[in-house]
Structure 1
């Protein structure tokens, strides 16, 4: 399975991404002048700092008074008192450029991203010589590797250099060419271009992140030398280049050290090991590591509609969602991008995953928590990449540490975080000290949403040690915050105030406003957190008093309501939306990623959720389309989800961008536009939801199969309660399912048809519960076949 092109990339959104979670590159595949645009995941602007408003508690009381009086626009303006600085920005590392001496009159050109191998490949011919490049990022060896080869002896000559848009210097260090530099010390005010008044090598720059990258090579023949101008290979037949990079980032709460030599030492350390290792050994280590993750899941949705020999962008333009193989490619591409941008020990994937070329990236290329970053990680558990979830779970723990201080300043217990954050784990409202907008900056319940990821990791794995030692303490502290944050409304219900429904506005008497109380999203997120905490405490047999407190508070939460259009009401009153087709689906949290609204348990709200989606319409940004695909899957309408999938699988080029019109760039990056990776990750998760669901406490096999996929199979999807599931279907009917039990839990499967369950060649006695679900006890490590 591969992305394929017959010409070099002209734009960044045509280049092909590689990564090992820490090091990333966009490979352009140019012939005479190749470019790899480079990133390192800890290279950010800024430093740890204090971002809270010291008078937040007093301002909160005033803000609540305005809300209580219904002075919503005034509340919006007053909320600016709570805003801290904008977040810091993810920085581009620079470029690796290779200038070849063979000219540019090429033929027989192809470039590929081989998803099976996790490698970028470039092939072309000049004269009678065939040139090949194989480029990949090794997680085991922490280097980017370029294998270059000519078919004729002595025909490979090139010069390689490193450059950066950040302040830097270059030098020769033994057999390596090294770039050293410094990230900007301060965030850019008002999102303007960044300036830095201090030199990278000034000892006074004690708080600025320093970075280094090193490049070296080995050849089979020819000559190789390194000088202050770069790395030079002359008249070789084959060469291998190694690049590594590092910064002096220590942790989210530790300032970088002045004049730190570790970036150079660490980068050169990785190169030294790689240089002393045979190429084939490095290659096999990469393949073994990468394929151990990637090969866990396979998906077949039908035969190709044609055009498999076309370039990927042409195939996208001509066939789109009508080609099942293109949908399979998009599904697996999301899994590939997750492996490439989020590995154990790295930073979590941000708005652009691991890749960014701008010193002022869109939305700072940061972590936006009211949908985008959580959506990044929906696929990790269901699509069998649970190890890739680890950086985000660790990051949540870091936010919980900083969020305790933010909560204390508000005068409440536990921990809290708002909408935007960065590598330094900012937890106060990010808004340029009042330059921001309440509709996105004021969102105090981030800790409740993020805690769901900890619970989900447990629910899929049933790892009780993880629940006890890591998940539950963070979840419990988030619940403590919510208990303290909730106040009693006039009707006796517990409400949040201030509350927003990101990022939509309602029409109040005085005009559009963002801030009110008890938004449906707030109440749904807190319901989810309280439910998960209660279950966790009961599993761990702890905190009986806390459980009782949570149960009582949960019963008093402001309830969901159905509005005048039959829709799930977005705000505590049935306000008109400023934008009825808004891209955000915040009040649909209870459907996805939550579990509060289901067909069996809440049928009236289930139907209201459909009305909401119909009212929202089928347009949207890339990530919004991905969310709607997942929502329609949860609501059992595969055909509607497929319609949205068809909208996502549309070609977007750099010269025809229109904000809020989703689609895919030629390299299949999701177009917000501009590029945001959450749509790639979200659509992979959404496709999985069409085929398997387990959020209701039982398995639904093929719960929302589109008519466009009459026959197919999927192998290796994961379900809650520790099950791994393989499904085969034909003529829209289940043929067989295989369930591997990793935890020995009771398995419940919903089926309208009789199911025969076998294991080890024996037919099991099964029961049906009161709702018609087939129920059977499993043993850890055993496989069960359902026909």
Structure 2
């Protein structure tokens, strides 16, 4: 469970990430010159602003008329008048540089990130002295902690300094080195106007402050000319704390902001009162409580863990089963490091960004990427890490209600394809510069609402469902009820509608973005409405909306199968802009939805297979990850494994082949450039290959590939409140342990082999081939298969 290298990082995508949900750092591990690039998750450009378009409501009927007349090119142009401003950007906080006074001639160099402890380490020798460094970002103590040691007394000598790409200054404050500054008032997205200067205005940008301090054994320390200097020491513990003036998504960080200095000082005071050993133990107890819940072992006769991680990727890829397991756990590590109680949700790059113009603003992209970030949260036993997204959704619904009314004159709440720390819910596009193919998509809120239901489905917290989840889900459904229009055949349609970022070809050969009832719209609305109905029944509510939801579901535009046997992506069987397009939006009903299964609407389930095959085996990093999840749901473990192999290809910093997704040397997911959703989607995909529970029963090893003949997994979660441990041999389930959070009933699919139950539970097999048994809260039931007739792949 280590990422390991034999040389320092040169590129940012070779550095190793640490984080506590709020404070992140990329550790380069240089010998003479060390570099930590720092982020704080609330440091964004801009401030709350009015982003709704008051002209949009009047334009909507005309836009719908153009669509009904099949004037799609004209509809695209008119829709540009309905756009709002671009979102703001996630900012780099700054950099800490260390210059060690021992030169650069090191030997026996090792740099690593230990996933078991969430500690990054660097070790090497210079002369006859051994040097060791440790870095971690502590959630309980809200600080970056750095420990430097030398085996020879008095030979630890270094200088520390700050730098920032933002408007900032550095000064000494008693025993702290201080970096203070402010973020830009506005940053255009890097893919739109990258050459334009960012706009810094003291009255419009967020303030921030970071502090660096030290405790040392031996020698002396001094602060001089904006530097911290340690001389003649044997050990030194350094602390970094930081804060911004962010005070809420709806408050100006300038006029209504908090004083970041008060918070950075207070955190520094608290952390310096503790010893390094106490800080490390606090960190380990907190982190391992989360990380240690789930483990994965893929048994292999070959062990390549002594090789540097980048060499393992390059030489072996998915053939290195331990590397596959490492990448699975890396996704869990990154989620813990970027999404904790009280933090912002993980953005497009988690919490790690070194650019003032980050790719796609490093924002919350709602047409796949933000949701994918949280696919592993529940199934991989990190429900607490899901909370920042759920709280984000609650905030976004507030702004989304204003957008629904202002832009469309409708009830409920809506969000579009991009958002930011200010919870922008309106369609982006700089009031007309954007492309409708990614701007004019009104399903962001409806998709996000799925996460509220999933959190309940896995944990069965009815208080959460009643007080938090259902009211937001209901309002998202209200918007969709108003958004739908009835066509001449009596079907409910969405209009305008797009299939995110993928255009269709018109008979004249031209491309268009907007039509009506793209398949993804139908799938998301089906998912939202059925989840709302299930919530009403779970809570035993009397709610008139249930009749409306059921009526619409009965008359929702049906799915269609196209001329290639594929699940149609649009209302008509148009040709694709790109048959190998990275988005597979029309397959939402397979994953992450639960509408299309082998046992329900199986003809469309088969059509989904045809669609996925037509998309091919390539794609960006996150696209490859989505396809792992889809092939797992389609129960083809070997196809899913092919995408794991495609994902485990090495991408270097200067590789911008848009269709060559893979991983960078530090295992970050490559779009390229870096997007963290590829990491999270990979982790959820592996989990989905091993365990599924979306059909109302637990399915063990539903998509086990032939390459994973022997393995063991512990701590996966199933809907209904179950924790599952499994072991398999020769591609067949050997044992499974089921621990229930609640007393009740459980259904499980374990195949047709003879089953021996090692517990007092009574198990019967129903007419669907499912094992049915009663559970008792907090107790486990262990099942073992005696027969070899069960092959999970079939």
TM superposition score category, shorter chain reference:
over 0.9
Query: In the alignment, is the contact (CA less than 8 A) between 2:752 and 2:769 conserved in 1?
Result: no
What does 1:364-443 correspond to in 2, within 5 Å?
364-409=361-406, 410-443=408-441
Partners of 1:617 and 1:194 lie apart in 2 by 38
> 1:749 is paired with a residue of what secondary structure?
strand
Which residue number in structure 2 is paired with residue 28 of structure 1? Answer: 28
Partners of 1:261 and 1:632 lie apart in 2 by 48
Q: How far is the alpha carbon of 1:198 from its aligned partner?
A: 5.4
Query: In the alignment, is the contact (CA less than 8 A) between 1:193 and 1:360 conserved in 2?
Result: no
> 1:655 is paired with a residue of what secondary structure?
coil
What CA deviation, in whole Å up to 9, does each residue of 1:513-552 have, x standing for no partner?
1100011100000000000000001111113321111111
Which residue number in structure 1 is paired with residue 241 of structure 2? Answer: 244
Query: In the alignment, is the contact (CA less than 8 A) between 1:712 and 1:728 conserved in 2?
Result: yes
CA change 1:631–1:498 in 2 (3 A) is same
> 1:235 is paired with a residue of what secondary structure?
strand
CA change 1:260–1:500 in 2 (3 A) is closer
Q: How far is the alpha carbon of 1:62 from its aligned partner?
A: 1.2
The aligned length equals 780
Which residue number in structure 2 is paired with residue 19 of structure 1? Answer: 19
Partners of 2:767 and 2:541 lie apart in 1 by 30
Q: How far is the alpha carbon of 1:758 from its aligned partner?
A: 3.9
Which residue number in structure 1 is paired with residue 525 of structure 2? Answer: 526
Partners of 1:535 and 1:102 lie apart in 2 by 66
Q: How far is the alpha carbon of 1:197 from its aligned partner?
A: 5.8
Which residue number in structure 1 is paired with residue 787 of structure 2? Answer: none
What CA deviation, in whole Å up to 9, does each residue of 1:694-749 have, x standing for no partner?
00000110000000000111000000000000011001111110000012231100
What does 1:632-711 correspond to in 2, within 5 Å?
632-711=631-710
Partners of 1:617 and 1:490 lie apart in 2 by 37
Which residue number in structure 1 is paired with residue 113 of structure 2? Answer: 113
TM-score, scaled relative to structure 1: 0.98
2:608 aligned with 1:609, yes or no? yes
Partners of 1:245 and 1:74 lie apart in 2 by 50
Compare 191-200 and 492-501 and name the one that shifted more: 191-200
Q: How far is the alpha carbon of 1:220 from its aligned partner?
A: 1.1
Which residue number in structure 1 is paired with residue 156 of structure 2? Answer: 156
Q: How far is the alpha carbon of 1:193 from its aligned partner?
A: 4.9
2:744 aligned with 1:745, yes or no? yes
Partners of 1:446 and 1:561 lie apart in 2 by 23
Partners of 1:75 and 1:120 lie apart in 2 by 53
CA change 1:259–1:95 in 2 (3 A) is farther
CA change 1:197–1:704 in 2 (3 A) is closer
Which of 235, 249, 262 is residue 265 of structure 1 equivalent to?
262
Which residue number in structure 1 is paired with residue 573 of structure 2? Answer: 574
Query: In the alignment, is the contact (CA less than 8 A) between 1:304 and 1:324 conserved in 2?
Result: no
Q: How far is the alpha carbon of 1:422 from its aligned partner?
A: 0.5
Partners of 1:677 and 1:473 lie apart in 2 by 30
Which residue number in structure 2 is paired with residue 85 of structure 1? Answer: 85
Query: In the alignment, is the contact (CA less than 8 A) between 1:691 and 1:704 conserved in 2?
Result: yes
Which of 476, 486, 489 is residue 487 of structure 2 equivalent to?
489
Q: How far is the alpha carbon of 1:757 from its aligned partner?
A: 6.0
Which residue number in structure 1 is paired with residue 60 of structure 2? Answer: 60
CA change 1:196–1:13 in 2 (3 A) is closer
Q: How far is the alpha carbon of 1:176 from its aligned partner?
A: 0.3
> 1:288 is paired with a residue of what secondary structure?
helix
What CA deviation, in whole Å up to 9, does each residue of 1:603-630 have, x standing for no partner?
1111111101111111100100000000
Which residue number in structure 1 is paired with residue 723 of structure 2? Answer: 724
Q: How far is the alpha carbon of 1:779 from its aligned partner?
A: 1.3
Query: In the alignment, is the contact (CA less than 8 A) between 1:305 and 1:319 conserved in 2?
Result: no
What CA deviation, in whole Å up to 9, does each residue of 1:92-132 have, x standing for no partner?
00100011111111111000000000010000000000000
What CA deviation, in whole Å up to 9, does each residue of 1:239-280 have, x standing for no partner?
000001110001111111349672112112111111111110
Partners of 1:367 and 1:585 lie apart in 2 by 19
2:332 aligned with 1:330, yes or no? no
Q: How far is the alpha carbon of 1:228 from its aligned partner?
A: 3.6
2:363 aligned with 1:361, yes or no? no
CA change 1:498–1:199 in 2 (3 A) is closer
2:147 aligned with 1:147, yes or no? yes
2:472 aligned with 1:474, yes or no? yes
Query: In the alignment, is the contact (CA less than 8 A) between 1:622 and 1:663 conserved in 2?
Result: yes
What CA deviation, in whole Å up to 9, does each residue of 1:271-290 have, x standing for no partner?
11111111101000000000
Query: In the alignment, is the contact (CA less than 8 A) between 2:565 and 2:607 conserved in 1?
Result: yes
Query: In the alignment, is the contact (CA less than 8 A) between 2:184 and 2:199 conserved in 1?
Result: no
> 2:441 is paired with a residue of what secondary structure?
coil
Query: In the alignment, is the contact (CA less than 8 A) between 1:161 and 1:229 conserved in 2?
Result: yes
> 1:544 is paired with a residue of what secondary structure?
coil
2:550 aligned with 1:551, yes or no? yes
Query: In the alignment, is the contact (CA less than 8 A) between 1:84 and 1:433 conserved in 2?
Result: yes
Partners of 2:640 and 2:560 lie apart in 1 by 25
Partners of 1:85 and 1:304 lie apart in 2 by 56
Which residue number in structure 2 is paired with residue 447 of structure 1? Answer: 445
Which residue number in structure 2 is paired with residue 280 of structure 1? Answer: 277
> 1:629 is paired with a residue of what secondary structure?
helix
Query: In the alignment, is the contact (CA less than 8 A) between 1:194 and 1:359 conserved in 2?
Result: no
Which residue number in structure 2 is paired with residue 102 of structure 1? Answer: 102
What CA deviation, in whole Å up to 9, does each residue of 1:52-71 have, x standing for no partner?
11111111111101101000
Partners of 2:241 and 2:446 lie apart in 1 by 38
Partners of 1:444 and 1:768 lie apart in 2 by 44
Partners of 2:84 and 2:548 lie apart in 1 by 33
- Structure 2 unaligned runs (5+)? 785-794
Partners of 2:711 and 2:592 lie apart in 1 by 26
Q: How far is the alpha carbon of 1:343 from its aligned partner?
A: 0.3
Q: How far is the alpha carbon of 1:199 from its aligned partner?
A: 5.5
Which of 212, 215, 231 is residue 215 of structure 1 equivalent to?
212
Partners of 1:666 and 1:303 lie apart in 2 by 23
CA change 1:241–1:767 in 2 (3 A) is same
Partners of 1:197 and 1:356 lie apart in 2 by 19
Q: How far is the alpha carbon of 1:394 from its aligned partner?
A: 0.3
Partners of 1:745 and 1:477 lie apart in 2 by 31
Query: In the alignment, is the contact (CA less than 8 A) between 1:342 and 1:349 conserved in 2?
Result: yes
Which residue number in structure 2 is paired with residue 588 of structure 1? Answer: 587
- Across the aligned residues of Structure 1 and Structure 2, the Cα RMSD in angstroms comes to 1.3
Partners of 1:677 and 1:194 lie apart in 2 by 27
Which of 497, 503, 506 is residue 505 of structure 1 equivalent to?
503
> 2:654 is paired with a residue of what secondary structure?
helix
Query: In the alignment, is the contact (CA less than 8 A) between 1:184 and 1:195 conserved in 2?
Result: no
Query: In the alignment, is the contact (CA less than 8 A) between 1:690 and 1:703 conserved in 2?
Result: yes
What CA deviation, in whole Å up to 9, does each residue of 1:649-678 have, x standing for no partner?
011112333112101110011110000000
2:299 aligned with 1:302, yes or no? yes
Partners of 2:559 and 2:333 lie apart in 1 by 38
Query: In the alignment, is the contact (CA less than 8 A) between 1:214 and 1:264 conserved in 2?
Result: no
